[in-house]
Amino acid sequence: MVKRGMLIVLSGPSGVGKGTVRKAIFEQGGNDFVYSVSMTTRQPREGEVNGEDYYFVSKAEFEAEIANGGMLEYAQYVDNYYGTPLKYINKTLDEGYDVFLEIEVQGAMQVREKMPDGVYIFLTPPDLKELKNRLVGRGTDSIEVIDKRIETAITEIKMMQNYDYAVVNDEVPLAVDRIKDIIRAEHLSVNRVMPEYTEMIGELER
Amino acid sequence: MVKRGMLIVLSGPSGVGKGTVRKAIFEQGGNDFVYSVSMTTRQPREGEVNGEDYYFVSKAEFEAEIANGGMLEYAQYVDNYYGTPLKYINKTLDEGYDVFLEIEVQGAMQVREKMPDGVYIFLTPPDLKELKNRLVGRGTDSIEVIDKRIETAITEIKMMQNYDYAVVNDEVPLAVDRIKDIIRAEHLSVNRVMPEYTEMIGELER
């Protein structure tokens, strides 16, 4: 029997750089995990590719997927839907591959309820000023949107206690290394490896 | 206020190579943790240095230390005492340094009761045959001692479930890397960093 893969969930406040970190993880390569592309109704940003960064769909298409029970999680955030299509995730886990999700915090909590065995990683800004600078620096959002996002970010940081790990995104390569450390360490956690050792004990006793 | 250091406990069955792995970790250097030398009444093996590998003491000296309440943990194992002198450990942790212990499994469980916040790592043999080969290969023990050790090892592997992580000692450099991954990841665990973030939230709300 193939050992079921591990679900890895990267989340964190909007603007913290989840997408950049996730991209850097997969560009670096050498990973034993598969990226599960999210679905959203928001407009693609400069350079974002449909089917790679997100599945970009219309509001009607997204709501149809919800109605069909096809979403592992979804959330409405700054007037857009974001979510994870269920198809492929369980199949990939059953085949023994780890699956990597990069999702918003509302969605991460829905996933945690359904898949408590996952590894939940919260990406944090070094401080609020930095978060604000990043949002302004992006130059694609209005002041009102930025203020709303910061307020949301405070709420989200309070949600950190629902995660297993907190990774500061001070520098992308450092954040990438930390996330990879966490994934390697989690594979060694006794809760995850105990079934194999129970079998080994059986052999020692023969 | 200095953030209190983290206690790291490496344990595992006798003969699994705890001492070799621990030595390799410290010979590699670049560590942010301090080694706490154990105390034992057993004879030094070839190449072992008093005060580096162990404090080698007489049975009378060891029992006096127990009577004085000076041991964090101790165990009798194959007719010898092994234990961790308490002096320096709390002081070192309070100064903000992580402390690394390499101890027998009986002792590790005593430490876990007193210091549940520590990171408990169980070093495992790839399989029993390998364990037996190592004990025989060492050539310093009688068949009776070896058989007794194997029986004890089976019991100890069953104790793995009391640990946080299981690291296979298939190759020392790999085991060293795994242990260092675990230590880095543990520093990112939400339980350990939450106090800092609680403070950060206070600043965001101002």
Q: Model confidence over A79-116: pLDDT tens digits?
A: 899 889 888 898 899 999 999 999 888 889 999 999 99
Q: Name the pairing type of β-strands B54-56 and A80-85.
A: unpaired
Tokens in use for A58?
Answer: 């219309």
Please check whether residue B124 lies inside any domain of the structure.
yes
List, edge to edge, every strand of the sheet that includes A33-36.
A33-36, A98-102, A7-11, A119-124, A165-168
Taking only the tens place, the pLDDT of each residue in A131-151 is 666 666 767 778 787 777 777
pLDDT-derived band of residue A129, with 50, 70 and 90 as boundaries?
low
| CATH number for the domain harbouring residue B122 | 3.40.50.300
Mean pLDDT of A7-14: 92
Tokens in use for A140?
Answer: 């694609």
Q: What is the DSSP letter of A189?
A: B
Name the least confident of A152-156, A169-173, B114-118.
Answer: A152-156
Vertex A66: Cα angle to A65 and A69 (nearest 5): 90
Name the closest residue on chain A to residue B179, using Cα atoms.
Answer: A185
Residues of B in contact with A15 (CB under 8 A): none
A184 at B interface, C-beta within 8 A = yes
- Is B158 close to A201, i.e. CB distance below 8 A? yes
Q: Which of B160, B167, B200 sits opposite A157 (nearest CB)?
A: B200
Residues of B in contact with A150 (CB under 8 A): 204
Name the least confident of A28-37, A81-90, A128-137, A192-201.
Answer: A128-137
B1 at A interface, C-beta within 8 A = no
- Is A188 close to B181, i.e. CB distance below 8 A? yes
Is B30 labeled as ligand-binding? no
Q: What is the CA radius of gyration of chain B?
A: 18
B57 at A interface, C-beta within 8 A = no
Please check whether residue A79 lies inside any domain of the structure.
no
Q: Which of B124, B160, B190 sits opposite A160 (nearest CB)?
A: B190
Vertex A113: Cα angle to A112 and A119 (nearest 5): 20
Name the closest residue on chain B to residue A178, using Cα atoms.
Answer: B185
**How distant, in Å, are the alpha carbons of B52, B77, B81 from that of B66?**
21, 16, 11
- Is B204 close to A161, i.e. CB distance below 8 A? no
Tokens in use for A205?
Answer: 């006793």
Residues of B in contact with A164 (CB under 8 A): 189-190
Cβ neighbour number for residue B17 with a 10 Å cutoff: 19
CA separation for the pair B120, A88 (Å, rounded)? 36
Please check whether residue B23 lies inside any domain of the structure.
yes
Please check whether residue B68 lies inside any domain of the structure.
no
pLDDT of residue B193: 87
Please check whether residue B177 lies inside any domain of the structure.
yes
Vertex A186: Cα angle to A180 and A191 (nearest 5): 175
pLDDT-derived band of residue A30, with 50, 70 and 90 as boundaries?
confident
- Is A184 close to B178, i.e. CB distance below 8 A? yes
The residue with tokens 């944090």 is A124
Predicted confidence (pLDDT) at residue A206 exceeds the cutoff of 60: no
Sites in chain B below the pLDDT cut of 50: none
Q: What percent of chain A has pLDDT over 90?
A: 51
**Which of the residues B123, B169, B174, B190 would you substitute to probe the A interface, choosing the one with the greatest number of A C-beta atoms within 10 Å?**
B190
Residue B101 near residue B10, CB atoms below 8 Å? yes
- Is A185 close to B186, i.e. CB distance below 8 A? yes
pLDDT of residue B135: 67
Domain housing A117 = 7-36+98-204
- For A169-174, the CB contacts below 8 A with 24+ separation are A169/A12, A169/A16, A169/A17, A169/A21, A169/A123, A169/A124, A169/A125, A169/A126, A170/A126, A172/A17, A172/A20, A172/A21, A172/A24, A173/A24
A174 at B interface, C-beta within 8 A = no
Tokens in use for B129?
Answer: 């045959």
Q: What are phi and psi of B175, to 5 degrees?
A: -60, -40
Please check whether residue A17 lies inside any domain of the structure.
yes
CA separation for the pair A155, A144 (Å, rounded)? 17
Residue A124 near residue A15, CB atoms below 8 Å? no
Please check whether residue A85 lies inside any domain of the structure.
no
Measure in Å the smallest separation between the Cα of A65 and chain B Cα atoms.
34
Name the closest residue on chain B to residue A155, using Cα atoms.
Answer: B201
pLDDT of residue B189: 96
Binding-site annotation, residues of A for ATP: 12-19
Please check whether residue B78 lies inside any domain of the structure.
no
Residues of B in contact with A194 (CB under 8 A): 160-161, 166
CA separation for the pair A17, A154 (Å, rounded)? 16
- Is B188 close to A194, i.e. CB distance below 8 A? no
pLDDT of residue A194: 83
Mean pLDDT of A185-191: 96
- Our count of domains for chain A comes to 1
- Is A190 close to B153, i.e. CB distance below 8 A? no
Mean pLDDT of A13-17: 86
Amino acid (one-letter) located at B137: G
Rounded (10°) angle between helices A190-204 and B128-138:
70
pLDDT of residue B183: 97
Q: What are phi and psi of B76, to 5 degrees?
A: -100, 130
Q: Which of B127, B153, B163 sits opposite A190 (nearest CB)?
A: B163
A188 at B interface, C-beta within 8 A = yes
Cβ neighbour number for residue B42 with a 10 Å cutoff: 14
Mean pLDDT of A47-73: 93
pLDDT of residue A80: 93
**How distant, in Å, are the alpha carbons of A5, A71, B66, B189 from that of B111?**
33, 45, 15, 21
How many H helices and E strands in chain A? 8, 9
Residues of A in contact with B193 (CB under 8 A): 166
Cβ neighbour number for residue B182 with a 10 Å cutoff: 24
Distance from chain centroid for Cα A75? 13
Mean pLDDT of A160-183: 95
The residue with tokens 């706490």 is B36
Predicted confidence (pLDDT) at residue A201 exceeds the cutoff of 90: no
Amino acid (one-letter) located at B106: Q
